[in-house]
Amino acid sequence: MRAIRGRLLTFLRAPRGSGDAQCYRYIEDGIVLVKDGRIEAVGPVAEMTARAPAGTPLEHHAGALIVPGFIDPHIHYPQTQVIASYGAQLLEWLEKYTFVEEQKFADRRIPRATPNSFSTSWRVTAPPQRSPIAPPIRLRRKRCLLLRRSGKPA
């Protein structure tokens, strides 16, 4: 068993509108107990500390927000400049913004010149995926923190 400590956010149901505070549970200082790769229990530090066997390893992520696992979280690197661009329908958005932006990445100079969240922030929480059009892109790894499923830095 292992314990992961930090700020916890879990979702109980779909929200019924903005401001629906009953659809989630937030614990300012909590622990997730994990046994054999599965979540055993979630709760406030005092409750989970009492429940964990003596000697359980604790990973303390002070200030970090711990949320349920998402399946395949990623971001498309060539699309970072067109995120939230207006498009009434998916195909319109793809044709008008996305494909146009991705085609620029066929020029190997563009990825290096494009300002983006990967080069300006110090953390990456969703692994980037490249476009089939774009050449492979190397991120400045010293400024990024990519977590494997194990929760350890990649």
What is the rounded distance in angstroms from the CA atom of residue 12 to the CA atom of residue 40? Answer: 17
Compute how many other C-beta atoms are within 10 angstroms of the C-beta atom of residue 131: 19
Query: 0.75 cut: is pTM over it?
Result: no
CA dihedral 33, 35, 40, 43 (to 10 degrees): 0
What is the per-residue pLDDT across 106-142, written as a single tens digit (0 to 9) for each?
777 766 555 554 444 434 455 555 555 554 444 443 3
What residue ranges define each of the domains in the chain, with the CATH number in brackets? 2-66 (2.30.40.10), 75-143 (no CATH)
Residue 52 has pLDDT above 60, yes or no: yes
What is the rounded distance in angstroms from the CA atom of residue 126 to the CA atom of residue 117? Answer: 11
Q: Residue 147 — very low, low, confident or very high, per pLDDT cuts 50/70/90?
A: very low
Average pLDDT over residues 138-148: 39
